[in-house]
Amino acid sequence: MSTSSSSTDKQISKSKELLSNISSYVPPLHDQKSPLSIWRSVKGQYPAADMPEYPARILLEHCLWKGLQWSVLAPIIWPIYSIVRKQALTTTYRPVFITTPLIGVLATGGLLGYKAAFEMDSEGVDDRGYRIHKSVSQNHVDQYSLYGSLIGASTGAIFGKHGFSSVLAASSVGIAMGVYIHIYPLIEDELIPKVRNLFH
């Protein structure tokens, strides 16, 4: 029991160290001079009437969801990881479905931090935030991901037997299902007909 607890403490310590290293490259989100400041208001700065007041918030929220949506890879990784580790699917379910979106968030967060620090100015952030705000498809998939995560988290809280980790894993499953539901019409209307045409 003590060995397991020690291993968990080490993993938590490494995760904190990794997050600290990554955050050192991301401009302070509270600094209004930073392009990514969540408090930087652009009210009255642009002629577009539908320009959101805080475009950096929209961009950051979008990147967060894009990272969490890496959950769609978990069902593919899960059986492969189980085979490699020679462990039952029930054993690897939670580690895979928790770790996959976490890696996605760290990857998208790191990329956003790099771009904001070296490639994007305030106008670039505002332009990107505005385009995300106006994108029906992007908003649709993010909404489905949100609904899926809430349903999944609720299911994990009610039926899970491993506390908070059950909630996180089930929430990840919900996000993946939300993305699948979003892309299903595209698969049905475009991909399936093209595959059928190959055999006719």
Domain annotation covers residue 17: no
pLDDT band at residue 192 under the 50/70/90 scheme = low
Domain annotation covers residue 150: yes
Domain annotation covers residue 29: no
pLDDT tens string 49-83: 888 888 888 888 888 888 888 888 888 899 898 99
Domain annotation covers residue 20: no
- Average confidence score pLDDT of the chain: 80
User: pTM (2 decimals)?
Assistant: 0.70
The pLDDT value given to residue 3 = 53
> What's the domain count of the chain?
1
Mean pLDDT of 147-164: 91
The pLDDT value given to residue 182 = 86
Domain that holds residue 127: 53-198
Domain annotation covers residue 94: yes
Q: What is the 3-state secondary structure (H, E, C) of the chain?
A: CHHHHHHHHHHHHHHHHHHHHHHCCCCCCCCCCCCCCCCCCCCCCCCCCCCCCCHHHHHHHHHHHHHHHHHHHHHHHHHHHHHHHCCCHHHHHHHHHHHHHHHHHHHHHHHHHHHHHHCCCHHHHHHHHHHHHHCHHHHHHHHHHHHHHHHHHHHHHHHCCCCHHHHHHHHHHHHHHHHHHHHHHHHHHHHHHHHHHHCC
pLDDT tens string 102-149: 898 888 877 876 776 677 788 888 888 889 888 888 888 888 999 999
Domain annotation covers residue 16: no
Please say if the pLDDT value at position 2 is more than 60: no
Domain annotation covers residue 30: no
Domain annotation covers residue 174: yes
